[in-house]
Amino acid sequence: DEKDARELVDEFIQDKQKERTDLFGAAKGKNVVIISLESTQNFVINRSINGEEITPFLNDLIKESFYFSTIYDQAAQGKTSDAEFMVDNGLYPLPSGSVFVRRPENTFDSLPKILKEEGNYTSVTFHGNDREFWNREQMYNTLGYDHYFSKRNYNVTSENSINYGIKDIPFFNQSMDELSNLSEPYYAKFITLTNHFPFLLEKEDQFIEPANTEVDVVNRYITTVRYLDESLKQFFQLLKEQGMYEDTIFVLYGDHYGISQKYESGVHELLGQEATPLNHLELQQVPLIIHMPGEEGKVIDTAGGQVDIRATVLHLLGIATDDKMAFGRDLLVKNPDDPVIIRDGSVITNDYAYIDNLCYSKKSKEVVARKKCLQYQEIARERLELSDQIILGDLLRFSE
């Protein structure tokens, strides 16, 4: 059975695209700073409320970045940790629980290991929560991280923390010393925290007025997203001041939705839209921004997901992925018909979306014949099953 699965994986790898663009290796040898934007959905990007932008810094950054405007949240019950897992491994999360918690003793062909091998990178994570949360301490060892700077490395006081821990502005601030001491090149992951349900923030940290919908959770969300944006602005300022900006490629991604379906009516109200299944699906989009200093901005609207981040970043770093056992597609060359697969069984291509047993045309927004979606559903079923087999059978131990 394990052998069958391996053959299937090999077959799968063989049909992967081997195309390269002019950007292959454009960021070769650069430091990589990757930022997990807690609970950040894409609808906040380029949006104003009462004339105030929700994400003024990101809106500016996007103009000088690759902005992937159609990226879906593929995380499952493992939330932040599922997104981290996808970014590092290009595999799907499990149907239940978090891979970080369930499979920390597996062998993985993770980004830190690949980068160590290909470019002698140092890999670290910065995060203000306890080391044990999501079993990160153990899993980061497994994934090949050299250091994990967690709550115990920060000066956390009641003034500088809220909700889950240290607020994002002091978090970035206090991370600078350790970051500047890393041996280069490095792969440094920053996991932000303040924009987390139930989106609490003191008045003095609010850089925008709360929204004015009937759903308080949504109203507060606007203020915590705006705070996150401010923390990013300050972080980039510090990096520039300390000469740590130029030689780095930045990857920013929303880790998963922030507003669950229970509170989504507030978002529909804010956006002036109906509560339709297709609108719900579109709200599952998260931002993905790749910023290379000096590179011109570009909007890339290929539908993709978090599982694709790894292949895309490796392309820019000039590291081939066609021989890797992973499901992510390089978004710079991805075939738009290749479906985006959500763990709940939804499937999305540039033209179609399959949700709740119905097939929709994205253009007409109408329900169309189910057979239009059938081939994509089939691919989704196969890939999720294979991904689960790889994880639950610890199959990557054979490829070491």
Pick between residue 164 and residue 190 the one whose CB is nearest to ligand GP9.
164
Q: Does 109 bind Mn ion (CB under 5 A)?
A: no
Pick between residue 12 and residue 133 the one whose CB is nearest to Mn ion.
133
- For residues 264 and 283, give the distance between their C-alpha atoms in angstroms, rounded to a whole number: 9
Nearest-approach distance from CB 196 to ligand GP9, in angstroms: 6
Contact 202, 162 (CB under 8 A): yes
- Among the listed residues 55, 70, 80, 223, the single catalytic one is 80
Distance of CA 83 to the CA centre of its chain: 5
CB-based burial of residue 120 (10 Å sphere; 0-12 exposed, 13-18 middle, 19+ buried)? exposed
Choose among Mn ion, ligand GP9, none what residue 109 binds, the Cβ cut-off being 5 to 8 Å by kind: none
Tell me which of 73, 168, 255, 308 binds Mn ion, using CB under 5 A.
Answer: 255
Is 255 annotated among the ligand-binding residues? yes
Give the length of the chain. Answer: 400
Tell me which of 80, 125, 213, 306 binds ligand GP9, using CB under 6 A.
Answer: 80
Rg (CA), the chain: 20
Task: Name the residue among 202, 161, 192, 208 with its Cα closest to residue 55.
Answer: 208
Choose among Mn ion, ligand GP9, none what residue 99 binds, the Cβ cut-off being 5 to 8 Å by kind: none
Name beta bridge partners: 166: 161
Pick between residue 264 and residue 330 the one whose CB is nearest to ligand GP9.
264
Pick between residue 38 and residue 230 the one whose CB is nearest to Mn ion.
38
Choose among ligand GP9, Mn ion, none what residue 168 binds, the Cβ cut-off being 5 to 8 Å by kind: none
Strands 304-305 and 340-341: unpaired
Per the annotation, the verdict on 248 as an active-site residue is no
CB-CB neighbours of 318 under 10 Å: 16
Q: Does 77 bind ligand GP9 (CB under 6 A)?
A: no
Is 229 annotated among the ligand-binding residues? no
Lay out the site mask for Mn ion across 170-209 (x = CB under 5 A, - = otherwise): ----------------------------------------
Q: Does 80 bind Mn ion (CB under 5 A)?
A: yes
- For residues 323 and 146, give the distance between their C-alpha atoms in angstroms, rounded to a whole number: 25
Is 280 annotated among the ligand-binding residues? no
Using CB atoms, what's the residue nearest to Mn ion?
80
Q: Does 98 bind Mn ion (CB under 5 A)?
A: no
Cis peptide upstream of residue 198 (ω within 30 degrees of 0) = yes
CB-based burial of residue 300 (10 Å sphere; 0-12 exposed, 13-18 middle, 19+ buried)? middle
Binding residues for ligand GP9 restricted to 163-202, rule: CB under 6 A = 164, 191, 193, 196
Choose among ligand GP9, Mn ion, none what residue 133 binds, the Cβ cut-off being 5 to 8 Å by kind: ligand GP9
Task: Name the residue among 143, 108, 102, 112 with its Cα closest to residue 326.
Answer: 108
Pick between residue 16 and residue 256 the one whose CB is nearest to ligand GP9.
256
| 159: its two tokens | 């003034």
3-state SS record for 339-389:
CEECCCCCEECCCEEEECCEEEECCCCCEECCHHHHHHHHHHHHHHHHHHH
Choose among Mn ion, ligand GP9, none what residue 223 binds, the Cβ cut-off being 5 to 8 Å by kind: none
Tell me which of 17, 77, 129, 153 binds ligand GP9, using CB under 6 A.
Answer: 129
* Binding-site ranges for Mn ion (CB under 5 A): 38, 79-80, 255
Residues marked as catalytic: 80
* Binding-site ranges for ligand GP9 (CB under 6 A): 79-80, 129, 133, 164, 191, 193, 196
Known binding site: residues? 38, 80, 196, 255-256
